[in-house]
Amino acid sequence: MITVSIYEDNAQLRESLGILIDGSEGFTVVGTFPNCNNIVDDCMQHPADVLLLDIDMPGLKGIEGLKLLRASGNTETKVLMLTVFDDDKSVFDAIQSGANGYLLKKTAPSKLLEHIYDAYHGGSPMTSSVATQVLKMFSEIYSRKKDNYNLTAREREVLEYLVKGYSYKMIAADMFIAIDTVRSHIKKIYEKLHVNSKSEAVAKAFKDRIV
């Protein structure tokens, strides 16, 4: 039996979803809520396998509620966003915040039950149009031209050594240059990357795929 909780501020829709899910074999509704202001306590008092979570609710918004739930240490409950919003930002924020799936409210009842079942068994269901957006977003991210921040070949080489964890002395020895020269290169690297420390430079190198 898959247990489900519903977070939806529209009373009529909340009731309809409850009747649909509770009346379907293999599913039972353990809680229905008009907002997610107390989502952490709700989930402790009414444990559910899967949450249907609206994004736009009075008080705490759905994505903020999701963040609270995950921050509380609850990573086991599957959370499906059920919303009318299919813009890139909402989709990306939900996924980044720990959502297990993203469904539009126009999803057919039979499909909704399939998606809940899929999420319970470890899947990441998405309305087809949303899945297309997600693929497009990731495609754009990975196809972006790498920005080298106008680093010279020598500066890129020094940055590669920093990423590998080399000290100034080790870099100087490997590159057959003076430590002061290494310091000069690193100062220019910091200026071009707009960072103030080695850790920030390394993080940016990974994030922007500079090396």
Domain 153-207 belongs to what architecture? Orthogonal Bundle (1.10)
Nearest to 137 by CA among 191, 90, 104: 90
pLDDT of 209: 78
Share of the chain above pLDDT 70, in %: 96
Spell out the domain ranges in the chain.
2-142, 153-207
Tokens of 76: 């086991």
205 is written with which tokens? 């190198």
**pLDDT reading at 145 higher than 60:** no
The more confidently predicted of residues 52 and 124 is 52
In 50-148, which ranges are continuous DSSP H helix? Answer: 62-71, 88-96, 109-120, 128-143
Q: Is the pTM of the predicted complex or chain greater than 0.85?
A: no
- CATH fold label, 2-142: Rossmann fold (3.40.50)
- For 97, other C-beta atoms within 10 Å of its C-beta total 19
